[in-house]
Structure formats: C-alpha cells, structure tokens
Amino acid sequence: MVNVRIVRGLTIAGTAALSIPALAGCAADSAASTARDALELNEANAGSGELRLNGYSQSYFGTDEFVRVGQTLTVSATLWDVVARISEGREDLRAFLLADASRITLETEVVYVKADDQKVTVRVPMTWRPESGSFATKSEPFVIPAGVKLLNPSIGGTYKMPDGGSGSTRLQVFQGGSNGPRPTPVFGAFLPNKLALFDSIGGSVRTRVIEGGALVKGARATFAVSDWRLESIVKRSDLDVRVGQQYSGNRFGPTIVDLNGAVDYEVDAVFSTDGGQTFQTAALRKNTEPQVLTTDGFRFTLEGQTQVPENAGPQLVVAFHVRAFLQVPESRSIINPRYAPGARILLKDVWDNNGGANYALPVGL
C-alpha cells in the first residue's frame, strides 16, 4: 500500500501557470479517498518499468509511456553504451573494457524531487548479465515513493584501466529536451488531483486518467488535449494553409513556390458534473513542454483545469470546442498574397464530443 501525501493547491507540474479561475468549495482532505487513490494507483496503474540508458538519452519500457508513484523500476544499460560513454574515443580503453564487463563496477543513483521540491537520493546496486551476445547491467528493483514528482537517475561507478590504474564515471539517464536534458516526470505526486489526457493513437482518439481510477470530489482535474488529437479532429491534412508564394532557388536557378502559414488552435473544454443540467467552460492554454508527451522539441498540448465540486454526480462529462486558425506571416514580401500580413483566418470550427455523447470521466468520493 502506498501512503499518499495530499498537497492541496498544487497541480501537476507544467499546469500551475494556467490562469484558469479556480472554483470555490475546496474541502478538507479525506483519509478514505486518500487510501482509495493509493490503492488504485498501486494496483491498477503503477506496475513496473525499466529505464535504459540509450546513447546520451533514455528509453522507457513499461505498461504505457508514463512513470508513476508506487511503480517498481529498474535502470539498465548495455555494455556497449556504458563503454562508449566511458572511453570517449580511446580505442585501447574501449577494447579493454569490452573484453571483460567485470572490469566495470556500477550502481544506480536516483535523485527524487518531491512535491515540495525536497530532494532525496537513493543508491541501488547493479549487476552484469548476458544479453544479445554481449552484456547489460541492471539495477535491483526500487519503488518510487509517495509525493515524488520528478526523478533524476544516473549510473555511476569505477572501472579498471589497461595500465593497471582505475577511473570513475557518472552517466546521466535523462530524457532529451529542447533546452537540454530534463528529469523524468512522475505522475501521482499531487493526489488526489488527477490529469485526464485526451490524445490519439493510430488515428483513433482515446481518453486516460493518468493516475488511474476516478476523479475525486473536492480535488482538481486537469484536461490535457494533445496536438496530434487536434490534427485528427480538424483533419489537418485537408486544410488549405497556403498564404501565397515566395521566391526559392535550386541548382537550376530561382523559382517561385507556394508558401504555407502555421496552424494555431483555440480549444475550450465544456463540462458538467451534475448530469448535464449545467455546463461550465474552461479555456485551454498551450503547453510547449508537456510532461505527458515523451517526444520533445516540437509537440504540445492544450491544458486547463477545474475543481471537482464536493456535490458532483458520478460522472464529469466533457466535450471540446476546437477552432483551427491559419496564422499569416507578418512579412510583406509574400508574392501573390491570399491574405493581409499578420491575418488570422478561421479554417475549421468543430466539436470533439464523442459523436454527440460527450466523454465521461468517473467521479468518486
């Protein structure tokens, strides 16, 4: 059983800056709902996973793409990756270490960042084992404690050198980021607050409460809609995004080609917690560094949040009003312009509402 620390007034990292008004009626913490949420997270969602050093970044293998509080993790790396990072072009050292993995002694160091930004460091031993004709090192399993919002794993230790000496190393196991390496996000630190992700896979839309189980009365619910889902909803490939033409050039000389503008989205979440008798609206804001998307650098979500009323019914039903806009560049050097410089043109106005039935999220105590 995971003992969950409830932190009121906080939301999942990356959504705290949203300026959506908070609803009144935040009630005291409920020990019963705390225990229930811990059970849901631990049994239904947490599961197990493996973080693997992959070159200068990481790969993650788990039930899905998310790391959660209460999850059992291991950290691993192949002998080839470890030696490549240690040797850094020294061929003699590379060959010496590849010949015998026991010349390298490693451990996993995990720095947990908790909801209150307190940092806790733990160290876990690693062992070498055969894998795919070579060797890989893997840590002993460890469980992510309650209240952790980020983790920074690294692999460190010592190694022997061809001349009889020794060296030390510390290999970071970070996610890649557009602004450099970033720690691994952990979901469940701010229970009973939860995040509902509306994304897509293979052209089909899907809905998931990342922390598992039902939304909790009196707690916050965050809606996050992925960029690829929006593209599916508006049929992005069918939109005419031409704003004019521009000069270009190749080895045959100058030519004129079409110039496309960018597509921006405005999305409102329209939701009800009383069986559809009344509805509220929350404007979603763009998040260019969403923790729910592991692909970094160009993807985004639109996010918003609300507080689930204490008198909410058994479901929160929600639909999304989606508008796609063509953003015309400010440049006045566009040839044969179709629109004024800087214009914002509405291309599509649609609803993402589950075919008129809306999307239903269960609500618990």
Which tens digit of pLDDT belongs to each residue from 151-184?
Answer: 999 999 999 999 999 999 998 876 555 455 678 9
What number is the average pLDDT over the span 231-244?
Answer: 96
> What's 42's domain CATH number?
2.60.40
Phi then psi for 85, rounded to 5 degrees?
Answer: -75, -35
Task: Report yes or no on 6 lying in a domain.
Answer: no
Task: Report yes or no on 334 lying in a domain.
Answer: yes
Integer Cα distance of 82 and 157 in angstroms: 11
Integer Cα distance of 270 and 267 in angstroms: 10
Name the residue with tokens 């953003």: 327
Tell me the pTM.
0.81
The string of pLDDT tens digits covering residues 246-299 is 998 888 888 999 999 999 999 999 999 999 999 999 999 999 989 998 765 689
Domain boundary, last residue among 153, 168, 185 = 185
Name the residue with tokens 């889902």: 229
Task: Report yes or no on 350 lying in a domain.
Answer: yes
**Domain co-membership, 166 together with 204:** no
Q: Are 50 and 61 in contact (CB under 8 A)?
A: yes
Phi then psi for 328, rounded to 5 degrees?
Answer: -85, 135
Name the residue with tokens 């949203």: 18
Phi then psi for 201, rounded to 5 degrees?
Answer: -145, 125
**Domain co-membership, 202 together with 349:** yes
Q: Which domain range does residue 253 map to?
A: 194-364
**Domain co-membership, 83 together with 159:** yes
Q: Are 343 and 264 in contact (CB under 8 A)?
A: no
Task: Report yes or no on 23 lying in a domain.
Answer: no
